[in-house]
Chain A
Amino acid sequence: MTEFHKTQRAMRTMRTTAMARGVIALLDIGTSKVSCLVLRFENPEAANDVVTPLFRQSAMRVIGAKTIASQGVRYGEIDAMADTERAIRTAVQAAQKMANTRVDHVIACFAGGEPRSYGLAGEVDVAGGHVDEQDVARVLAACDLPEIGYGREVLHAHPVNFALDHRSGLSDPRGHVGSKLATDMHMLTVDAASVQNIIHCIRRCDLELAGIASSAYVAGLSALVEDEQELGAACIDMGGGATGVSIFLKKHMIFADTVRMGGDTVTRDIAAGLQIGTQLAERIKTFHGGVHATGMDDREMIELSGDSGDWEKDRRQISRTELIGIMRPRVEEILEEVRASLDAAGFDHLPSQQIVLTGGASQIPGLDMLAAKILGQNVRLGRPMRVQGMPEAMRGPGFAAMVGLALFAAWPQDEWWDFEIPLDRMGGRSFKRAIRWFRDNW
């Protein structure tokens, strides 16, 4: 029950307010780009009847969108506050202008903060004959909080599974008859300072934060299809500064991690190796990059134009093989780090070994073949599903986190702070306690 937990509850309330107003902004603060979407929810109430993934996407509509080059972000964390704030302001203003409406609430996602996963378990005796909301609240409170370390905060806490006596795998135990309720919870902690920086930046832009999510998690929400989420799959979100890893099982995230390397690391390698500017390196990477060299690539020459004034330096050429020779080791390193992370999470023991690559850096040609060698055979490239009104330029895999954030905004999974607070921890709210006592006993 920390301060940030209360903040999470407040953000949930804010999200409800935003849904009632019908307009909300989504902000993806990445290392290479900052994107802002303005979503309009057309009829959030009517959507409650049938809940299918496609139906979820049909209830919302993108009315404003803007992507700009990020400034002041490193490894998915805010590095220079003023620059990031300016970038956020630019993106939000342009999206607002396109939407022609004012947006007050924003849901943000970021990749950094060194997320760490914890599995929690709690067990409690059911007070009455059947499980009610207070029992659920108590069993969530009964989970032992592991030593998460100083200066870290809980970003996500999903109750993944409920077990009642000998029955496990309940998604909603309320109303069931039983005596012993147990739960498994997945908790994701991040560096508190990085979250505080984001909150501060968004406050400085006169916006209210209505939610904050890890981009590894939201990328998995959009890039994995429903079967993969159910049967078990890993989503590798290869962003600019960080590569997010999230494992889903039974439609819940059970593990998340980041590798602090990504597309920008590859760009920096190219820039350093070829002694050219970052802009040119990025350009060469996107136009000519790859990870599998063939004989043809020896003959394909790439001109390294520059304006240093030194003719000898500005007129160099390299072959594509050389470029691949620079890129491939770094990409391999990233994938090996991912492999290590998956191994640590016990991904081998999952029933399904599906791996989905998404994110901007997953567009390197031949990456899926390389990933198949390192990560396992079931590798595919994932793209986010379509949201109505999304610009064509924002439909690539680089916007998987953005689309996932839209789903997260519209249909958030229940988290710890969505449940009731146990009575004995409610503190001074005596009036609420009195009401609860009346409701329970009459």
Chain B
Amino acid sequence: MRPLIAEPRYPQAPGAAPQKPAQALKPQKAPRRTVAPTRLAFRLERLWLTPVVRIITRVGVPVFCVTLGLGLWLGDGDRRADLIERYQDLRTQIENRPEFQLSALAIEGASPEVEAAVQALLPVHLPASRFALDLDGYRAAILRLDAVKTVALVVQPGGTLSVRVTEREPVILWRTALGLQMLDESGHRTASLKRRDARPDLPLIAGEGADKAVPEALAILAAAKPILPRARGLIRIGERRWDIILDNDRRIMLPENDPVQAIDRALALNAAEDLLSRDFTRLDLRNATRPTIRLSVPALVAFQQAAAQTTAEASQ
């Protein structure tokens, strides 16, 4: 065994390479001591790891503190009122900012009467805040005008409230006991009319419930175009069928179903036998298989005389 002494500090032979140990150990670090927790730290750590304690600390205590603080602070009535007032102030301030101001009203696509009505319906005086104006209510109010079909409200940048109105187009006149009404193609009233002469281009209908059958009336009028110069209008009978009133108080009674077909048939008869220039009071087309004609009194007398003459000639 080698003696337990170190190698000489300086090697004897100056030329010889210093003998190196095969494995040099790294310099020893001081052994790391684990620092033991104190009993108090240990107990607190265990307490903290208890689920109930964790939940109470993490959820219960903050919720309790916040609730208690708010409750105490808001318990005073003056503070509450002050808080509400501040909130209202802030709200008003924001609402009155220039970015939210409406300064002008621009109405498009409306006739002068409708435009005046739309302006009159605007609930606030401009300029006003965007929040003071109930756009939905305003829109509903405009829609309640008979002449208005659709309306689009757009708040444009720069504070302009743009109202785009589509008006109803009157296509027919309806004479009632209350006066003349103009109706659109769906039968909705658009406006009243004082005199028939004001709109001579529009056809006339009459009778109770005629406004509910405007599409049908329009179809009949379209089919009866060749005889329209002689017609005065349509009349609704019993809220179920139409009569065409011709001049000299003559009538074409149309059936409840397929009135257009009946008119076509009458026109065909007219073209073949010149039916409408005959002297009659009623042309009854209600029964499609048996069109009936009611002659006027002089025509009936003439017809009977002619028939008697024909019979006499035949008997001779």
Contacts and interface: CB of A to CB of B under 8 A. Distances in A.
A12 to B, nearest CB: 24
A353 interface: no
Interface in B1-41: 1-2, 4-7, 9, 21-25, 27-28, 31, 34-37, 39, 41
Contacts of A279: 28, 31
A89 interface: yes
B311 interface: no
Interface residues of A, number: 43
A6 interface: no
Interface string B67-105: 000000000000000000000000000000000000000
Interface in A334-367: none
B57 to A, nearest CB: 14
Contacts of B131: none
Contact of A283 (B1, B25, B35, B46): B25
Contacts of B258: none
A89 B25 contact: no
Contact of B39 (A89, A96, A275): A89
B239 interface: no
B6 A316 contact: yes
A69 B7 contact: no
Given A300-B23, A317-B21, A93 B37 contact: yes
B146 interface: no
Given A89-B37, A302-B21, A317 B45 contact: no
A311 B46 contact: no
B46 A102 contact: yes
Contacts of B6: 311-317
A275 B5 CA distance: 11
B50 A102 contact: yes
Interface in A292-328: 299-303, 305-307, 311-319, 322, 325
A302 B36 contact: no
A68 B23 contact: no
Contacts of B27: 305
A302 B42 contact: no
Contacts of B50: 102
A89 B34 contact: no
Given A102-B49, A205-B42, A322 B1 contact: yes
A300 B22 contact: yes
A275 B9 CA distance: 20
Nearest to A299: B22
A203 interface: no
Interface of B: 1-2, 4-7, 9, 21-25, 27-28, 31, 34-37, 39, 41-43, 45-46, 49-51
Interface of A: 68-69, 86-87, 89-90, 92-93, 96-97, 100-102, 204-206, 274-275, 279-280, 283-284, 287-288, 299-303, 305-307, 311-319, 322, 325
